[in-house]
Amino acid sequence: MPCPYTQPYFSALLSPPSPMIAQLKPFPRQPVLPGYDLPPVPQTGTRVILLRHGRSTLNDAGCYQGSTDTSYLTPAGTAASKVVGRYLAYCPIDAVYASPLKRVQQTVATLMPQLKVPLLRDVMTTPLLKEIHLPAWEGRRYADVRSHDADRYHCWQAQPEQLQMTAAGAANNVPFYPVRDVYQRAQQFWETTLPQHLGETMLVVGHGGSNQALINTALGLSPHHHHALQQTHSGLTVLDFASPADRAAKLHVLNTTVSDRLPKLKAGKQGLRLLLLPCHPNAPKQPEIAAFLKGETIDAAIVEESAAASRSRETLQTADAALPHNPATVMLSVQQMQLSQQWPAAIRRSLTTYDHEHLTTLLVVAPTESLQAGFQSLLGLPETAATPQLRAHSLSVIHYAKTQPQPILQGLNLVPLQP
């Protein structure tokens, strides 16, 4: 079927619309993401950079936005979008796709003038990228929904694929499934766009919910796992598709922001937060990791010892380098992490048995292969899903919120970035 795209309306900032995306001239380009050593773009597939829009007025009001178009970027959201544009200025972007909603269009209009790639002027706008439609909640405060629509809110958290609402104008009150709908749109977006961009890089600018659906469908995750991955305002995510038919894309980076701050705790400052820091003697070090942890309370650091003395020194040195601003952190050594066998059950017992109304943060430092072996189990993801790969000397963040039935991957392979 034809791809349902329309041209953007911000002609004052962009050149007149064209029926197709302009072809780029040869240009000396920087890496896809400065600060990351990513593999080459798959020549038989596509690289995708996902961006969530900047912070909006309804975000500041603590309200559900859904697919309504009444909010716009705050000054902070506009400033963050400009910073993202400067960061991506010389990156190899061949095409830009965006949601038609105002907060995304304003994000794109702010970052596009910062891009230096010649002739990249046309932005393809598609309704497939609109935010999840939540007709019963849009415009209502989060706290109001939790208090006065508790049963449906619990379904949204525990079984999002079963959430039902009635869409405006629906005949005979036919039930509408918001999460299933956004996943169907995400799948349609991949099917219609990926074949058009073999060997190229796409920048896709969307929303929190729609971006989560795009990532999950790319990784082979069902709508049941909708809350498993977090999307932060102005956060960048990188996916590689080996081919247009790929249903197990490689997730290189999730939710990195142009800052030295850890992702915001969307589910609140409670429960357990794991900061995974893999290390490898041959991988380039990231001494700036300590900047992430400055100002954070790290309750304990767990360091894996190895039979090889050199590997033990490597993990201890990595932990020490990450904690210069956290002198009160307790450091514990263990001989084997056994993440997949023991940790998930122990974490769940702790959350159900003890009071975790306040946040407990653990830094876990171990060789990359040790953390990778149990990563899928820590996330609670099915074995059929594509397993995200951890990169040495970068941080990955998992939040076990007491109020959430599933762990939340807040960030994957994060390093402090500067514009």
- Same structural domain for residues 250 and 275? no
List, for residues 183-192, the tens digit of each pLDDT value: 999 999 999 9
User: Which of 200, 224, 256 delimits the end of a domain?
Assistant: 256
- Same structural domain for residues 236 and 348? no
User: Which of 227, 256, 285 delimits the end of a domain?
Assistant: 256
pLDDT at residue 136 tops 90: yes
List, for residues 244-298, the tens digit of each pLDDT value: 998 889 999 999 999 878 999 988 889 999 999 999 877 766 668 898 899 899 9
- Same structural domain for residues 218 and 124? yes
Nearest residue to 50 (alpha-carbon basis) of 322, 238, 261, 231: 238
- Same structural domain for residues 278 and 410? yes
> What would the two tokens of residue 181 be?
């709908």
Cβ(281)–Cβ(310) under 8 Å?
yes
- Same structural domain for residues 244 and 376? no
pLDDT at residue 95 tops 70: yes
What was the pLDDT predicted at 1?
42
- Same structural domain for residues 239 and 348? no
What is the Cα–Cα distance from 108 to 93, expressed in whole angstroms? 14
List, for residues 192-243, the tens digit of each pLDDT value: 999 999 999 999 999 999 999 999 999 999 999 999 999 999 999 999 999 9
User: Which of 230, 256, 282 delimits the end of a domain?
Assistant: 256
- Same structural domain for residues 244 and 288? no
- Same structural domain for residues 72 and 192? yes
If DSSP states are collapsed to H, E and C, what string results for 8-40?
CCCCCCCCCCCCCCCCCCCCCCCCCCCCCCCCC
Residue 39 lies in a domain: no
pLDDT, average across residues 161-175: 80
List, for residues 5-41, the tens digit of each pLDDT value: 444 333 333 333 333 333 444 555 566 788 898 999 9
What was the pLDDT predicted at 210?
98
What was the pLDDT predicted at 22?
39
What was the pLDDT predicted at 28?
52
What was the pLDDT predicted at 4?
45
pLDDT, average across residues 108-122: 84
User: Which range has the worst mean pLDDT, 22-31, 146-155, 324-333?
Assistant: 22-31
Total of domains in the chain: 2
> What would the two tokens of residue 132 be?
């999840």
The CATH number that applies at residue 71 is 3.40.50.1240
- Same structural domain for residues 181 and 316? no
User: Which domain, by its residues, includes 190?
Assistant: 46-256
What was the pLDDT predicted at 256?
95
What was the pLDDT predicted at 156?
96
What was the pLDDT predicted at 227?
95
pTM: 0.90
Nearest residue to 214 (alpha-carbon basis) of 126, 118, 282, 273: 126
Bigger pLDDT: 116 vs 48:
48
